[in-house]
Structure formats: C-alpha cells, structure tokens
Structure 1
Amino acid sequence: MDKVIIEGLQVQSLIGVYDWERTARRPLLVDVTLEVDLAAAAATDDVRDTIDYASVADTLERVALKSQFFLLEALAGAMLEALFTDFAVQGATVKLSKPDILPNAANVAIQLSRRKH
C-alpha cells in the first residue's frame, strides 16, 4: 500500500492530567502515515488524484485545538477518526509527541494505528 507521511507537524492542544497542564495549550508534534492508493496520482501527475497534505494538516490542527482530552491516546484516537471521516484512507498511524513533559526525558510519545474495516 502506498503512503503519505507528514512528520513533525506542530499543533497546540489542551492536554494532560495534571492541574498545571490544564491551564494553557501546549505544543505537540504529530507524525502521521496514511495508507492510500497513489497509483492514479503517480500516473496523472494531477493533485486531484492524491491526498491534499495541507488539508490533512488542517484536520489534525483543528482536532488538536478543540481537544480537551486528558490523554494523548484519546487525542490520537480522535485524530484517527477525523482522518477516516475526511479522507479516502485505508489505514492510518498517528504518533503524538509531548516534548519536555518529563524532566529527565526529551520526549514522551504514543502511537496508534487503525485500518479501515
């Protein structure tokens, strides 16, 4: 299966379980891999035959901005649901990174993958 990959997309979200995390949005990094059929785009060189990368990024940013989830896992699940709703994808993987959240770690991340039924 062909893939569209966006790495290091910075989004803002209200996320976290601690009171101090609930006072303001914080930056998160999103890596997303979409499983799609890119054969038509490869043959036609026409943007209408592929996934609009900017629209994917906008969808992820929109979901993150409206989020009030406590867990990265829940936010990633909502992002996957939006991707399957808005785009013709067969599968998707979302990795959410929350940099500098632990004093002794550069990053904490989760990754969820789903396939179309």
Structure 2
Amino acid sequence: MGTLDEIVLTGLTVFGRHGVYDHERENGQEFTIDLRLRMPLRDAAASDDVVDTVHYGELAERVAAVVAGEPVNLIETLAERIAEVALDDRRVQEVSVTVHKPHAPIALAFSDVAVTVHRSQQHSIAEESR
C-alpha cells in the first residue's frame, strides 16, 4: 500500500444538542472536532488537483452537519458517526476523530472532556459484512 500521509483538521467548532441530560438537548452547546485522516497523498501531490485528495472544506461541512444534526446521548456515538463520514471516501485508510465537549455538565473546574476513536477501512469493511 505504501506510506500513509496525513490530512489534519483541528478545532472545527459546531453548535450541537448532544448529551444525556434534557438541558443539554434544550440549550445545546459547542463541540470541537479534531480529525486526522491517513491516506496516500502522492497522487494529489503529483497532479496538484483537488480531485485526487480529500477536499477538507467539503469534509468539514459534512462533519459539521453531523454535529449540528440528530442529537445523541454520548460523544462516543458522535465520534463514531463522524469517523463513518470520513471513511465514506475509500481513499482514507484510517481516521482518528476527537470530540471535545468543553462545556460538559461537570460540577468541578475542568478545561475539557474529549473522546477519541480510531477507525480504519478494514474495521469499516468488517462492520459491513456482519
């Protein structure tokens, strides 16, 4: 397969209504998403054409739609859904998704709560065959 390169998008901040508690769904809050895509980029570098890579602007729009969309209880679920969006492009071999919830309902001082999932095309294909 060759070397896997990376495309990294960090700090995508989107308003969503995810959480276990009713007030989280009613009031909503900002979530911040970090993505790390692993894929070969040699073809894109050679052609200098966006069609040979993941258009990160379009990917950001699709991820934002997931975050702003249907509420889920857990940020683990949200991270999984975002990973699926990234893996829709079969050129992406692996993805790491971190969902930050800096305004989580914790009654103590803290800076951030985050969940990271790591998924690959092999994982995705195995899930489809079940």
Q: TM-score, normalised by structure 1?
A: 0.92
> What amino acid is the match of 2:49?
D
> What amino acid is the match of 1:99?
P
Higher strand share: 1
| Equivalent residue for 2:116, pick from 104, 111, 115 | 111
8 Å CA contact 1:34–1:93 kept in 2: the answer is: yes
* Percent pairwise identity: 32
8 Å CA contact 1:60–1:79 kept in 2: the answer is: yes
Quick check: 1:3 aligned with 2:12?
Answer: no
> What amino acid is the match of 2:57?
A
Question: What is aligned with 1:43?
Answer: 46
Larger radius of gyration: 2
| Per-residue deviation, 1:11 | 1.2
| Per-residue deviation, 1:58 | 0.7
Cα distance in 1 between the residues matched to 2:82 and 2:96 = 10
Unaligned runs of 5+ in 1: none
8 Å CA contact 1:72–1:96 kept in 2: the answer is: yes
8 Å CA contact 2:30–2:103 kept in 1: the answer is: no
8 Å CA contact 1:51–1:87 kept in 2: the answer is: no
Cα distance in 2 between the residues matched to 1:11 and 1:37 = 28
| Per-residue deviation, 1:19 | 2.0
Segment of structure 1 superposing worse, 100-109 or 48-57? 100-109
What's the Cα RMSD here?
Answer: 1.3
Cα distance in 2 between the residues matched to 1:95 and 1:87 = 20
| Per-residue deviation, 1:84 | 1.3
Unaligned runs of 5+ in 2: 123-130
Structure 1: 4+ residue segments shifted above 6 A: none
Cα distance in 1 between the residues matched to 2:70 and 2:86 = 15
8 Å CA contact 2:90–2:121 kept in 1: the answer is: no
Cα distance in 2 between the residues matched to 1:90 and 1:20 = 38
1:1-117 equivalences in 2 (<5 Å): 1-86=4-89, 88-101=91-104, 102=106, 103-117=108-122
